[in-house]
């Protein structure tokens, strides 16, 4: 497990589709933003800093699994509750619960790796073991 952080999102008109509700991939965008916010709230520097110090480019997704229960629309304020559900050797699983007030709108699992550009080659990405200094800050 880990700490749980909360990331607030205000839904914009441009986030919504012709059905008048949030276009669903935006929930993934917001979970991704909340994932990064989680690391920053835990005291991890932004990736552009970690790239310089540790070569870490970011935490690309290996897998996402999201369930949508209720729609949202523009003008809504949402809160994404985020924690790490599972730490594996080279992978973490983050869970995000998106709420409007007490109402749960959707839930998602993200499986992420920490990646570098091997040998500094900007065209390639390689997963590394979850760094200890990152895990320690998140618990």
| Residue 88 in the binding site for its own copies (CB under 8 A) | no
| Residue 120 in the binding site for its own copies (CB under 8 A) | no
Shortest Cβ 102–its own copies spacing (Å): 20
Residues 23-52 that bind its own copies (CB under 8 A): 23-26, 28-30, 32-33, 36, 40, 46-48, 51
| Residue 57 in the binding site for its own copies (CB under 8 A) | yes
| Residue 125 in the binding site for its own copies (CB under 8 A) | yes
Residues 135 and 3: their CA atoms lie apart, in Å, by 11
Does the annotation count 17 as an active-site position?
yes
List strands edge to edge, sheet with 126-128.
56-58, 114-116, 126-128
Whole-number Cα distances in Å, 47 to 56, 60, 78, 86: 7, 12, 25, 21
Shortest Cβ 137–its own copies spacing (Å): 17
SS3 21: coil
Name the residues annotated as catalytic: 17
């Amino acid at each position: 497990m880990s700490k749980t952080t909360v990331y607030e999102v205000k839904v914009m008109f441009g986030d919504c589709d012709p059905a008048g509700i949030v276009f669903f991939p935006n929930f993934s965008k917001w979970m991704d933003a909340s994932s990064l916010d989680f690391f920053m709230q835990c005291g991890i520097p932004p990736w552009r800093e970690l790239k310089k110090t540790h070569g870490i480019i970011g935490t690309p997704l290996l897998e996402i699994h999201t369930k949508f229960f209720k729609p949202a629309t523009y003008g809504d304020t949402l809160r994404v509750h985020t924690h790490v559900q599972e730490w594996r050797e080279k992978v973490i699983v983050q869970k995000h619960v998106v709420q409007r007030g007490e109402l749960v709108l959707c839930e998602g699992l993200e499986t992420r790796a920490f990646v570098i550009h091997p040998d500094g080659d900007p065209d390639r990405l390689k997963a590394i073991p979850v760094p200890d200094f990152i895990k320690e800050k998140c618990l």
